[in-house]
């Protein structure tokens, strides 16, 4: 993920590699629950309960495991004929909880969770999913009874899977003496099954193994599809028909991107309608719970808003996958656009999922079509610095030598409504840049008739108040203000009112994948977007992508480790904006 995650609310957000208290954008969750079915997409998700609160909730539920009914209303699932896709969550057919509460006989009324990582031999599973599951186990967040299965085409034994997983597990939360014991206990819960992703027979064999470990308990099943998008429909079909729970819920998480444009996204959604259902919740905190910000949240006081995502590494052998999508589809169309919608939406009637999503859709449908002249694309080239050679994008053996796929993009977007008319919303995302960061920057208008202009120089941008929500690294919220330098003279300086999360809170910020997995297990649906949101997002970007590809637009080259294409600066200047992350202070 590429990576981005946190929780926005001024939105506050969370990043894909770090789960800051701010913003969260990267996967799709197909939540198989309810008598209905649905497909859901994990995108920019505002802050919810912290990991400790979720763990407490999980432990409370352990005491009532004899009931199949989950607090959010999700109930046990059971295979049945295909039903209509409703919101964005894939829910494999279910039956009412009161019909599946197991009889109390020798402990078999207890529930168990079986987590299957499909694509278990891949980098994402090894580096993110298994470590996140271990962190949840380490903190006591997983149910008392759980089993983890790795599923992939590679031939592997249980012991080989455990050896592979053990190399990536760490006790990052603290150094308690029982860490090694916890690791050994966790690895004993991990098993492996080899099979094809489109084989009903292999999923039937998986189902048999899952039942053996579930031991007659009320079974809940979570499938994490860590596989390319072009094969997850087959995997969902097999999981639904051959390995779904017969007396509990079944949920499926799929990785983004969801399609390449409006047409392919709609086709994927249609294919999943017979298996899945969508339902999700988003929450806003910073903006709506602080009186100081809400009155300022409009064109009257805000000059521009910037959504910035940068990685300091390239595709590193994953170029073949990335080349199919590019940075606009990978980051801008989903992560950054969802953050923008959360940022710009009107105050919802309530924090109910539907109320929030309704407001987000209104924003997306109010957005002006993106013009090619308001977009800059780039591609990184190789560079040698300090005796170290960094390869260019097309030096990746998995990438075609003549590839025009952008690894960098900057765009100016506009919302044609009363609140935001004329305010430029600038997005910028790229790989192989000079820094790793994810942040939202809100630049306020200049003070009219400012009495102190001569005391602060001619560069008005240096005296602009700016609110920065930094998702990664070093999660923080800070406000740039002007203050008088101590002394007898009258000289102004710029300072930060800074909330650095690591300094303010001693608790470890959970990784994005920990939050995602725990929410999926708990049936917490705040991390997903609705299908009409997805349609609106693709409607905005599909014409642009089509024009870029039809015209074979050549990306501007930029050196590996630089600040990106020069064209991005001209784009900002065109709209009378200076990128906040490129200032001398930053």
Helix (H/G/I), strand (E/B), else coil: 339? helix
CA 252, CA 331: separation in Å to the nearest integer?
22
Among residues 27, 335, 569, 575, the one annotated as catalytic is: 335
| Beta strands in 446-555, from DSSP E residues, in sequence order | 466-472, 476-484, 492-500, 528-529
Per the listing, tokens 């409009």 go with 298
Backbone dihedral angles phi then psi of residue 304, each to the nearest 5 degrees: -165, 160
Is residue 193 among the annotated active site residues? no
39-61: b (≥16 Cβ within 10 Å) or e: bbbbbbbbbbbbbeebbeebeeb
Per the listing, tokens 């990536």 go with 168
Backbone dihedral angles phi then psi of residue 298, each to the nearest 5 degrees: -165, 175
CA 551, CA 90: separation in Å to the nearest integer?
37
Please work out, in degrees rounded to the nearest 5, the angle formed at the alpha carbon of residue 346 by the alpha carbons of 340 and 348: 110
Residue 36 and residue 86 in contact, taking contact as beta carbons nearer than 8 Å: yes
Residues in the chain: 586
- Spatial neighbors of 366 by CB under 8 A, at least 6 apart, are 415, 416, 417
Q: Which tokens belong to 235?
A: 């995997």
Instruction: For the beta carbon of residue 167, count every other beta carbon within 10 angstroms.
Output: 8
Q: Which tokens belong to 154?
A: 């590679």
Catalytic residues, by residue number, are 335
């Amino acid at each position: 993920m590429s990576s981005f995650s946190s929780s926005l609310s001024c939105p506050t957000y969370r990043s894909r590699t770090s789960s800051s208290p701010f913003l969260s954008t990267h996967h799709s969750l197909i939540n198989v629950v309810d008598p209905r079915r649905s497909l859901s997409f994990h995108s920019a998700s505002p802050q919810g309960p912290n990991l400790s609160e979720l763990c407490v909730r999980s432990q409370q539920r352990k005491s009532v495991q004899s009931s199949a009914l989950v607090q959010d209303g999700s109930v046990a699932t059971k295979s049945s004929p295909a039903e209509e896709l409703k919101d964005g969550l894939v829910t494999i057919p279910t039956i009412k909880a009161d019909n599946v509460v197991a009889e109390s006989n020798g402990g078999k009324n207890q529930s168990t969770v079986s987590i299957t990582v499909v694509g278990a031999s891949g980098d994402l599973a090894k580096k993110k999913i298994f470590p996140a599951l271990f962190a949840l186990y380490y903190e006591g967040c997983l149910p008392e009874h759980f089993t983890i299965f790795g599923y992939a085409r590679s031939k592997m034994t249980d012991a080989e899977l455990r050896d592979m997983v053990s190399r990536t597990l760490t006790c990052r939360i603290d150094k308690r003496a029982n860490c090694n014991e916890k690791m050994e206990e966790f690895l004993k819960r991990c098993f492996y099954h080899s099979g094809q992703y489109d084989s009903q027979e292999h999923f039937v064999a998986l189902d048999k193994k899952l039942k053996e470990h579930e031991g007659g308990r009320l079974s809940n099943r979570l499938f994490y599809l860590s596989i390319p998008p072009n094969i997850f429909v087959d995997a969902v079909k097999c999981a639904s028909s051959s390995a779904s729970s017969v007396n509990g819920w079944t949920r499926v998480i799929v990785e983004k991107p969801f399609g390449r444009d409006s047409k392919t996204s709609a086709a994927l959604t249609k294919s999943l309608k017979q298996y899945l259902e969508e339902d999700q919740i988003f929450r806003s905190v910073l903006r709506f719970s602080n009186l100081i910000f809400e009155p300022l949240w409009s064109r009257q006081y805000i000059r521009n808003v910037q959504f910035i995502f940068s990685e300091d590494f390239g595709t590193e052998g994953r170029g073949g996958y990335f080349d199919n999508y590019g940075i606009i589809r990978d980051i801008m169309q989903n992560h950054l656009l969802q953050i923008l919608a959360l940022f710009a939406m009107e105050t919802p009637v309530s924090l109910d999922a539907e109320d929030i999503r309704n407001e987000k859709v209104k924003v997306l449908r109010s957005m002006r079509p993106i013009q090619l002249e308001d977009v800059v694309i780039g591609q990184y080239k190789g560079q040698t610095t300090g005796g170290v050679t960094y390869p260019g994008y097309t030096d990746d053996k998995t990438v075609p030598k003549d590839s025009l796929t952008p690894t960098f993009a900057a765009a100016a977007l506009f919302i044609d409504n009363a609140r935001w008319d004329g305010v430029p919303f600038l997005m910028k995302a790229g790989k192989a840049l000079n820094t790793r960061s994810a942040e939202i920057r809100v630049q306020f208008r200049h003070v009219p008739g400012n009495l102190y202009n001569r005391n602060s120089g001619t560069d008005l941008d240096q005296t602009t108040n700016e609110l920065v929500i930094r998702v990664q690294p070093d999660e923080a919220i800070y406000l740039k203000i002007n203050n008088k330098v101590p002394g007898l003279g009258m000289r102004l300086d710029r300072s930060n009112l800074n909330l650095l999360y690591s300094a303010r809170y001693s608790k470890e910020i959970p990784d994005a994948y920990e939050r995602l997995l725990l929410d999926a297990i708990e049936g917490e649906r705040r991390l997903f977007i609705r299908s009409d949101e997805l349609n609106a997002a693709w409607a905005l970007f599909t014409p642009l992508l089509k024009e870029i590809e039809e015209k074979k637009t050549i990306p501007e080259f930029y050196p590996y480790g630089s600040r990106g294409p020069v064209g991005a600066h001209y784009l900002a200047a065109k709209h009378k904006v200076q990128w906040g992350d490129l200032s001398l202070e930053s």
